[in-house]
Amino acid sequence: MSEAAARQLEDFLQRVPYVRFLGMHAELAGDEMTAVLPFSQHLVGNVMLPALHGGVIGAFLEVTALAQLSVTQGSAKVHKTIDVTIEYLRPGRALTTYARADLRKVGRRIANVHVEAWQEAREQPIAALRGHFLLASD
């Protein structure tokens, strides 16, 4: 992606306070954005395993979708979430977690987005999100 897309992504990540709490960041490689959630002890929900809190995983997936929309749509505003469905497929262990968003359909007002998160192997996702987002108009 271009230099402008990288700036757009960084601007988005700075505007969302929860991104700092999570400690997440994103990397651009060509036309693909990969969100990265480094493991941190304050993100643990089940200390016996230890496993990431389900809310942390859900928020990470949602922010990944919003970040991808921000980069591809080039909007200065944060898009609004209409609804999301999250599938928890495996426990999120005490490891770095990665996610990629696939924009399934982007219309004039609404976008349909699918996001998958994984840890060690992309073909073994730990969670997935399907969501609808209201596109911000500048």
| Cα–Cα nearest to 129, from 48, 63, 72 | 63
Range(s) of the domain holding residue 40: 3-134
85/66 Cα distance (integer angstroms): 15
Question: Residue 119: which CATH number?
Answer: 3.10.129.10
| Tokens (6 digits) for 74 | 């080039």
- Residue 138: which pLDDT band, with cuts at 50, 70 and 90? low
Whole-model pTM: value is 0.93
Our CA angle for 41, 32, 56, nearest 5°, is 25
Maximum separation of any 2 CA atoms in the chain, in Å: 47
Question: pLDDT at position 69, please?
Answer: 92
For 46-87, write each residue's pLDDT tens digit: 888 899 999 999 999 999 999 999 988 877 678 999 999 999
How many distinct structural domains can be found in the chain? 1
Q: Rg of the chain's alpha carbons, rounded to an integer?
A: 14
**Amino acid code (one letter) for 10:** E
